[in-house]
Every structure is written in structure tokens, then in C-alpha cells.
């Protein structure tokens, strides 16, 4: 069965103390309230908090840890970079790759994203690969082609075994942080199109099994409708993941 995932991407928010408090609340609420067996909860705090949060969630088998970025390099003279081996050594299991904010503000291109995925995979860390179109592409009705191309130039270059470890997140850029979520129909048709594309690159079974998350202004009010779509397997949550109540209510939307 395809795995359901709700991942919170905290982006550049929270101090150490706030982060500890938030994750403790989420940890408790997930223990007390989440009954759905097939859902993994992922938190994605900033780098300095990974080690302590890893210890905090250790006893909760539903909770998993992701990093927001990883270096494409193995080790060495790369000031400011964080390697996959470092992430692994503090218990990180997933890493975001290809988030639109990194593509936009850090000019990360397909070649670099593929290297980052390979670096993570070499350490047994699972990439959450983000794709999604800007508003002008949606308005020109080129969005299916645009996202297919994002997959063709990155994920398509992984081996079958590597691809098995990847989670896909569809995040239309016009919906991120704007309060303007994609409709459940828009999400469903893009997720189906992504699955179709993956099935032509890999095979039908691998594509069928793939967890594809939706991200972009998801909240407790719209998550149920989004998650009820047959090809939407969970969410990558920004703003609403910074509040334990909202984040837990989203997880409970399955
Ligand atoms: P928002 O949920 O704040 O729109 O952010 C989505 C996102 O970018 C998650 O990675």
C-alpha cells in the first residue's frame, strides 16, 4: 500500500526554544490523537535544531526527521555546507531537494538537484523531491509539460532502486505562502499526470506505489478535501506546520 505522509517544512522560522516546544507538542498530539496506521509524520526544522529534535522524537515511531537542504559534496572545503553524512549522523531520514525557494533564491538547477539527491541517497537519506510551476506557466496552460520536464531532467536519471527511496512533492509556486491553495481537482489532475510521467520513466508499479504530496497553503480547512483525492498521498505543509494544533489537525484529515 502507498504510504501517506504529512511533512512540515518550517523554513527559516523558530528559535531553539520555540522549536523544542513545538515539536514536543506535535509529538504528544500525534501520540494521543492520530489513529490512522498508515501515516508518517515528518518535521523539517532548520539545521541547528536537528540533533536535539532527533532525540526528542526518538521514542515515537510515527515521527520522522527531515533536513531542508543537503550539500551535493561529500566533505571538504565547502564553507557553510552540510553533508549527507552529517545529517545521517544526527538521525535525519529525509531531505527536501528542489524546493522552489531554493531554486529561486539560490539558483539551484536540475544538475545540482540530481547531485544532491544522489549525495543523500548514498547515505540512505530519502529525498523529498519538490516540483511545481510558477503562475505564468499555469496561465499559459503549460503546467503539465513544465512539471514533467522537471522530473525528466532530475528524477529520471536515478536508478530504479534509488527512485524507490524518493518521495515526490507537487508545490505550485503560486500557492506557496499565498493563501491561495490549488483546488482538489487541480491537485488531483497534476498528481495523476506526475504518476503517469513516472510510469513512463520507470514502470507502472513503481509509479503506483509512489507517495506524491501536495504543498501550497494547505491548512486544516482544506486538507481533508485534498487528501481524499486518489492521487494525493499527503502534504508538504509550510505555514500551518508552525502551529501544533493546525499541523496535527492536518495529519488527522486522512
Ligand atoms: P505554505 O504551506 O506556507 O504555503 O508552504 C508550502 C511549502 O512551501 C512547503 O514546502
pLDDT in tens, 112-126: 999 999 999 999 999
pLDDT in tens, 50-59: 999 999 999 9
CA 96 to ligand 1: nearest atom: 10
What is the structure's pLDDT at 108? 98
For each of the domains in the chain, give its residue range(s) and CATH number, in order of start: 4-251 (3.20.20.70)
**Ligand 1 near 217 CB (within 6 A):** yes
pLDDT higher than 90, residue 190: yes
pLDDT higher than 80, residue 1: no
**Ligand 1 near 98 CB (within 6 A):** no
For this structure, is 64 an active site residue? no
pLDDT higher than 90, residue 179: no
Residue listed under C-alpha cell 522560522: 13
The single residue of 99, 101, 108, 143 carrying the catalytic annotation is 99
**Whole-angstrom distance, CA of residue 156 vs CA of residue 166:** 11
For this structure, is 225 an active site residue? no
**Whole-angstrom distance, CA of residue 160 vs CA of residue 10:** 30
**Whole-angstrom distance, CA of residue 38 vs CA of residue 175:** 27
Confidence band for 37, pLDDT divided at 50, 70 and 90? confident
Grid cell digits, residue 200: 513512463
**Ligand 1 near 216 CB (within 6 A):** yes
What is the structure's pLDDT at 251? 98
**Whole-angstrom distance, CA of residue 250 vs CA of residue 233:** 13
Instruction: Quote the mean pLDDT of the chain.
Output: 97
**Ligand 1 near 48 CB (within 6 A):** no
101 CA to middle of ligand 1, Å? 10
**Whole-angstrom distance, CA of residue 234 vs CA of residue 128:** 12
Q: ∠ CA(132), CA(174), CA(186), 5° rounding?
A: 65
Amino acid at each position: 500500500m502507498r504510504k501517506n505522509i504529512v511533512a512540515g517544512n518550517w523554513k527559516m522560522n523558530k528559535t531553539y526554544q520555540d522549536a523544542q516546544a513545538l515539536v514536543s507538542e506535535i509529538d504528544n498530539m500525534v501520540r494521543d490523537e492520530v489513529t490512522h496506521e498508515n501515516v508518517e509524520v515528518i518535521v523539517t526544522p532548520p539545521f541547528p535544531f536537528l540533533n536535539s529534535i532527533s532525540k526528542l522524537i526518538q521514542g515515537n515511531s510515527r515521527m520522522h526527521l527531515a533536513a531542508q537542504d543537503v550539500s551535493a559534496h561529500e566533505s571538504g572545503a565547502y564553507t557553510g555546507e552540510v553533508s549527507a553524512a552529517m545529517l545521517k549522523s544526527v538521525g535525519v531520514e529525509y531531505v527536501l531537494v528542489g524546493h522552489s525557494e531554493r531554486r529561486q533564491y539560490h539558483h539551484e538547477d536540475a544538475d545540482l538537484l540530481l547531485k544532491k539527491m544522489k549525495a543523500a541517497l548514498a547515505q540512505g537519506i530519502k529525498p523529498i523531491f519538490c516540483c511545481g510551476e510558477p503562475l505564468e506557466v499555469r496561465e499559459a496552460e503549460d503546467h503539465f509539460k513544465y512539471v514533467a520536464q522537471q522530473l525528466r531532467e532530475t528524477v529520471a536519471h536515478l536508478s530504479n532502486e534509488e527512485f524507490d527511496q524518493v518521495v515526490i512533492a507537487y508545490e505550485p509556486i503560486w500557492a506557496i505562502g499565498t493563501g491561495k491553495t490549488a483546488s482538489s481537482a487541480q491537485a488531483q489532475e497534476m498528481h495523476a499526470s506526475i504518476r503517469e510521467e513516472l510510469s513512463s520513466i520507470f514502470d507502472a508499479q513503481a509509479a503506483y506505489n509512489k507517495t506524491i504530496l501536495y504543498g501550497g497553503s494547505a491548512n486544516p480547512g482544506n486538507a481533508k478535501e485534498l487528501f481524499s483525492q486518489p492521487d494525493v498521498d499527503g502534504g508538504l505543509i509550510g505555514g500551518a506546520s508552525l502551529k501544533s494544533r493546525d499541523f496535527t489537525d492536518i495529519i488527522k484529515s486522512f
